[in-house]
Structure 1
Amino acid sequence: MKRSRKPRKRSWIRRLLLILIVIGAIPVALTIFYLPPFIHPVSTLMAKDLVTLRGFTREWKPLSEISPRLVNSVMMSEDGQFCAHHGIDLGEFRAVLQDFMEGEPSRGGSTITMQTAKNLYLWHGRSYVRKAIELPYAVFLDAIMPKRRIMEIYLNIVEWGPGIYGAEAAAQHHFGKSASNLTAREAALLAVTLPNPIARTPGKPTAALNRLASRIERRARQAGGYNHCVR
């Protein structure tokens, strides 16, 4: 009996490994598929909204039709080293790893590339398991996809409120204008909303949100030394 069970056990292990390899390869294949600019990806949250029949609002805009003010503000707020790193900000990653080793809560530390990989392929919520899976996908994404394309996808799939995805939908919803016409202040308010788009409302900012926006607005004005990869 024992001899007959071992081959079966090995067979199930091989099948499980094959399934995991296939699942892991899907994001790799999709990353290559998403390279052409005429492909407009959706995020896992957008797919969830479709499956649950809640629907969503998103109007795809190429990066050239999104205000540079918003691009700079998002970069300065979310990932100031976006043009310099290769998918992972090693300084932030070491800090996150140290927090993990010391049993501290996750502090984030995701780059825009990591957030793009998460939004495209993975689940949401704070999780070291998800972050560990996110890392190789972010490195691969950065290796084969131009920075401008990563930023373009990110700004078109990121959530800016319940059922509101992408810069154009966010600008229209919160400010009644196109993402190409945002003022520096509006761009900064949208940028500082991203860490918590459900609780923060850029169109009706609190005093605290206004203070954050003022800081990002100042940084965005000085973003010329950091944004060369998305010009």
Structure 2
Amino acid sequence: MAGKNTYRKPSPKPTPKIAKKASVFSYIKKLLYKVVFYFFIISIGSVALFKFLPIPFTWTMMDQKVASIMKGEDSEIHYSWRSYNNVSREMHLAVVAAEDQLFPEHFGFDFKHMQIAYKNNLKGKKVRGASTISQQVAKNVFLWQERSYIRKALEVYFTFLIEIIWGKQRILEVYVNVAEMGKNTFGAEAAAQQYFGISAKNLTREQAAKLAAVLPSPRKWSVTKPGPYVSRRVPKITRQMRALGGTAYIKDLRSF
């Protein structure tokens, strides 16, 4: 009936227990937002910063040093940063030929080889992984080594970042500098000095192939005392370097 006042029963006030839960959820939600926000700011800022600055160290180097100390072994890390133009192009080409031949073409991920590796793993075959040079750089510079789904997800994220912000030339420059090429030996400059007594700028194709040949397992295999597998691998890498067209294959890498 028009004009008739209707009575509404007031909503019950939340109990202290419910109110406390709501307050906790609200706090957690705000905290998560802050964590995500600062993570993106710090991660993007770090990648942008290291586009221009030499990498001072990697987590792999730290892990190696700590492990050596714990074992009572020599813990000195051999590492000398060299700019892209101060490393032989043969070295750059050698790691591409050995580790990631589609490096100039893909955007951080080689989906064809990932699919092959996945199928072989399902069959129980022991095969090398399908990580590209970009993925290895993302892992070595920004993440830890132990495998987990969280680390893999972060690896994908940082791979995209460095592909977008760094470009191919910078990624290859960093890889050649931080890749482990022997026990406690990181990068082409330290390896060239230690194994050949020369600068990385003067590495020949054969010498570069020898360094690239031990990359899959640098603590197990030796550049100076190569076993049968490494000895067979070196000429394969040099043949592949020629097949790719020599250093012209990496001449026009994207630098941004």
Q: Is 1:195–2:245 an aligned residue pair?
A: no
> Percent of counterpart pairs with the same letter?
31
Aligned to 1:160, the other structure's residue is in SS state strand
User: What TM-score, normalized to structure 1?
Assistant: 0.86
Q: Which moved more, 1:54-63 or 1:190-199?
A: 54-63
Q: CA deviation at 1:13?
A: 4.3
Q: CA deviation at 1:121?
A: 0.5
Residue deviations 1:90-146 (CA, integer Å, cap 9, x gap):
22233455567x496885211111111111111114444422221121122111212
CA distance in 2, matches of 1:147, 1:168: 20
Q: Which moved more, 1:170-179 or 1:45-54?
A: 45-54
Q: Is 1:213–2:229 an aligned residue pair?
A: no
CA distance in 2, matches of 1:139, 1:73: 24
Question: Is the contact between residue 88 and residue 139 of structure 1 (CA under 8 Å) also seen in structure 2?
Answer: no
Q: Highest Rg: 1 or 2? A: 2
Residue deviations 1:189-209 (CA, integer Å, cap 9, x gap):
111211111111111111111
Letter in 2 for 1:44: W
After superposition, the CA RMSD in angstroms is 2.7
Partner of 1:45 in structure 2? 60
Question: Is the contact between residue 181 and residue 215 of structure 2 (CA under 8 Å) also seen in structure 1?
Answer: yes
Q: Which moved more, 1:80-89 or 1:51-60?
A: 51-60
Q: Which moved more, 1:83-92 or 1:102-111?
A: 102-111
Question: Is the contact between residue 80 and residue 226 of structure 1 (CA under 8 Å) also seen in structure 2?
Answer: no
Structure 1 pair 98/135, CA: closer, same or farther in 2 (3 Å)? farther
Residue deviations 1:35-74 (CA, integer Å, cap 9, x gap):
22xx111322234567787442211111212111111110
CA distance in 1, matches of 2:250, 2:176: 15
Q: CA deviation at 1:155?
A: 0.9
Name which of 23, 40, 50 aligns with 2:39.
23
Question: Is the contact between residue 46 and residue 56 of structure 1 (CA under 8 Å) also seen in structure 2?
Answer: yes
Q: Is 1:172–2:193 an aligned residue pair?
A: yes
Q: CA deviation at 1:8?
A: 1.1
Letter in 2 for 1:171: A
Gapped regions of structure 2 (runs ≥ 5): 1-16, 70-74
Aligned to 2:77, the other structure's residue is in SS state coil
Where in structure 1 do 4 or more consecutive aligned residues deviate above 4 Å? 47-53, 96-100, 102-107
Query: Residues 91-170 of structure 1 correspond to what in structure 2 (within 5 A)?
Result: 91-96=112-117, 102=122, 107-170=128-191
CA distance in 1, matches of 2:227, 2:127: 26
Gapped regions of structure 1 (runs ≥ 5): none
Letter in 2 for 1:216: I
Question: Is the contact between residue 104 and residue 168 of structure 2 (CA under 8 Å) also seen in structure 1?
Answer: yes
Letter in 2 for 1:28: I
CA distance in 1, matches of 2:148, 2:234: 28
CA distance in 1, matches of 2:100, 2:186: 19
User: What TM-score, normalized to structure 2?
Assistant: 0.78
